[in-house]
Copies of this chain bind each other. A is one copy, B any other.
């Protein structure tokens, strides 16, 4: 049982100690060092399955694919889990494709994204037979067509559309929001122009449209608006070309809980809402219901991982209003979690190795980098009796934590350790000082 929505399902508490799969935090730290990302494998697999089930449950015969968005976090072992979960994989660079191939991931279940795919990336994707390429620009239409032609192949594509909706966190702004690098604007006519261009290339098979409206979205309404606009264009396509497009990919962006009290956008909430929106739009535009796909990334891996740090120095600082703030330094920081400084993201965290005092102090959890902005948690109340050597666990770091990690200040990137059935194993090892020097000539 999860003790809180911010923690994964196999997390428990025992005598004040955080445990994953029954293994206590101190034992995890002793065996694997800190900082380390611990990945709850059961939780990951369950979430992957839950998204698939919810899609099938809501859409039945109209279910397309669940594509796990590799950008949130991928390594070969996780790609194998995705394959075993019988869902698809969304990759957006040659590097992500290389990981998938190293894991033996079936190309036909991959979808290839990106606003600036290189010729080499497109060639490789078509050559190995990826299921779908999501095409993002007029230049790319020509590129995909010419490469497919030269390889004597036909390539299925989706066109990425900009439906003019910005959905971000709690806000949904359903007005023209077209000033982005991705996609073809429906409103400006760019999308229609792209459709006409695609139809001039017989090496490209347009199977449908794609729309992705944002990240960490916590309400379903904006997805409905996007579905309506994209389906309206699909109806126009049917009117013009006399047949219906088979597929619709509504993207990802499903929000998770970072702080206690956050209400995540769970699959059993999202998919019925998407069904209602798609069904009603199709009815409105007298269109058959297409196969609908989605792309959860964060929503699968985000809550499944936490970061375990060791606390180093602690310093009391007196604020201008006379109050005190405890600066608590951990042995990582912006190199393993850039989201706090990059997006102002908020996290919670707990002392993971023991029962602490009930008395709390205003605290700021900071990293060890030479930068004032190197903050893990800007404001949090933590026990007054924290001491160096205590362990500190930050939940919900699975998405865009390790995947955006850097070697800033030549800090080695942390490993990812998977835990299942009470056993822990390294699936992505920690960098060593030798790794940090391996590119030096």
Contact = CB atoms under 8 A, between A and B. Distances in A.
Given A93-B411, A325-B179, A406-B406, A76 B440 contact: yes
A1 interface: no
Q: Which of A93, A98, A412 is packed against the most chain B CB atoms within 10 Å?
A: A93
Q: Which of A70, A137, A341, A426 is packed against the most chain B CB atoms within 10 Å?
A: A137
A408 B412 contact: no
A366 B411 CA distance: 28
15 contacts: A70-B410, A71-B409, A76-B437, A116-B330, A116-B368, A118-B368, A139-B313, A139-B388, A181-B329, A181-B364, A181-B372, A185-B317, A403-B408, A426-B441, A435-B439
A141 to B, nearest CB: 10
Contacts of A259: none
A176 to B, nearest CB: 6
A49 interface: no
Given A181-B372, A440-B75, A441-B429, A188 B114 contact: no
Contacts of A366: 115-116, 181
A115 B329 contact: yes
Nearest to A166: B372
A238 interface: no
What is the count of identical protomers in the complex?
A: 2
A96 interface: yes
Contacts of A179: 317, 319-320, 325
Contacts of A408: 71, 403-404
A189 to B, nearest CB: 9
A77 B439 CA distance: 11
Given A115-B313, A327-B181, A370-B113, A320 B437 contact: no
A174 interface: no
B410 A428 contact: no
Nearest to A182: B372
A42 to B, nearest CB: 19
A427 interface: yes
B412 A441 contact: no
